[in-house]
Structure 1
């Protein structure tokens, strides 16, 4: 078992113990008096694999998805950098189609309960995203709080993570591109973060739904080889003022 797998399991166990030291039973006693893992050195993988999909890969898979809900999910991911959990739980009422000077293509409301950070966000749509949203709604009309991407067998529920993953694997096979190791939706998210790295930090964090700068930069942002070469070739000389 790799250090990364151990790290994930230990992080989960720490959260369970943290809950237990705050929860009381019927007699009023805490389940645990203290966290037994407090101060424990959790192993961390020094060089974790965090794959990123290339731009041509993404475009081929979107094309292979055809006029399906998966295509809309992929375009939303590609245009917003949001998590799969947040995308698949979108509701019809989250799509703000009204156009304003600030949001000429409308906006998407990201609800706090569908994401890890427990925060509501209202983010404008890009031109490409609005076009895809209009296509999806024309083919799959949604009213009120009904799921934007319903489960095939129960339209009152959002499509599951496993079903969305199966759709994606099918599109990858049709596109004839390589399946990357690891979680593909995270690899897609890394593409958005990396391609927008030159945009202002606060705006990037807001659009993609981050509260923690370190998480975004260390886990999702990749080194751009072209910028790396530009960095080693470029120098602004420092000279003592006279």
Structure 2
């Protein structure tokens, strides 16, 4: 506690290990008064709060781990990933308390989170919900919160402060996740795609380029053809740049998918089909461009790509024009599942590389679905198991 000018207001200074990139430093704050007794009380309160929230590296609190992780790791995450991580980190801190020693977490807290989150007794931020306002969530949503705690604890094992890891072992290692027997993963069909594509040709957008405001066809049809033909996520498609096109390479051309638009941060170079090539040539004739310029610029700013919200809005209009109901819990991702499902008969490693999956297991578990034709074939075309003599 100190004063900057003689007779002036009092200030408080407290050590905080989170400052200077985790090296530590001092936080300074004006108390707004000159009452020394009151200042001493406030100093003790701040000191106790720091002790509770930032314990020594040998026995860190949950709040200390959360603060360090948010400071060091979240800035490097993609915006959408950082959003759900921050929310679930806050949920755990609220549910079990920031001052809880991280090493004391275990099955009791794990199961309490599962039970309360599944029933809607707590919301996505860990806050209690009144009984009449509770809305149950799916097991998949609960598992996302469990994933967050696992990610935090595994990171704390690797992160060292003063030469020691924050945690010697994960207190939630191998605790069971929720079994989601009926995951809701919508899949587009070829019939749905062709109907939406036909309607998409009639969806328009209003652009404000070069000081002029005019109405023109939206990018929806172009985006649909490329997404359906490549199997890529809509985020990667809408952020394509002219420089990513390699139409002179391979039989029909290739696309260099940049790492910064890939969910897993991996760059890919994959061939394209004749339909995708034809659509890209059409785009280049109508909207020629070079280098880093976006292939699908924002209707209001030519230098940045169109937003996902904008494309989803066009999709909803096309679905309405086609007289099709919205698929539950889906916008474009069902198109990626369609692409993977239609290629179940091909080698997994080839399908994974062409569609941009680093994990074959993830592709098979979450994207490739059983279809009526395949199930019927499994029933009707068995290979009979015979007895064979050893002679």
Query: Do they fold alike, i.e. is TM over 0.5?
Result: yes
Q: Residues of 1 paired with 2:172 and 2:293: CA distance?
A: 43
TM-score by length of 1: 0.88
Relative contact order, higher structure (CA 8 A, sep 6+): 1
Q: Residues of 2 paired with 1:20 and 1:73: CA distance?
A: 41
Q: Residues of 1 paired with 2:303 and 2:149: CA distance?
A: 33
Q: Deviations over 1:102-149 (max 9, x none)?
A: x22211011122112222211111111111111122222221011112
Larger CA Rg, structure 1 vs 2: 2
TM-score by length of 2: 0.56
* Correspondence 1:113-132 to 2 at 5 A: 113-132=260-279
1:240 aligns with 2:378: no
1:215 aligns with 2:362: yes
More deviation in 32-41 or 55-64? 32-41
Q: Residues of 2 paired with 1:105 and 1:207: CA distance?
A: 14
Relative to structure 1, the CA distance from residue 54 to residue 141 in structure 2 (aligned partners, 3 Å threshold; closer, same or farther) is same
2:150 aligned partner: 14
1:160 aligned partner: 307
2:228 aligned partner: 78
TM superposition shift of 1:160: 2.0
1:53 aligns with 2:188: yes
Q: Residues of 2 paired with 1:188 and 1:195: CA distance?
A: 11
* Correspondence 1:86-97 to 2 at 5 A: 86-97=236-247
Q: Which runs of 5+ in 1 are unaligned?
A: none
SS in 1 for 2:256: strand
Q: Residues of 2 paired with 1:168 and 1:33: CA distance?
A: 49
1:179 aligns with 2:333: no
SS in 1 for 2:361: helix
Q: Residues of 2 paired with 1:147 and 1:136: CA distance?
A: 12
Q: Residues of 2 paired with 1:154 and 1:44: CA distance?
A: 45
Contact 1:69 1:136 in 2 (8 A): no
2:15 aligned partner: none
SS in 2 for 1:122: strand
1:136 aligns with 2:283: yes
Q: Residues of 2 paired with 1:12 and 1:2: CA distance?
A: 16
139, 147, 150: which one aligns with 1:3: 139
Q: Residues of 2 paired with 1:92 and 1:23: CA distance?
A: 40
2:178 aligned partner: 43
The CA RMSD over aligned residues, in Å, is 2.2
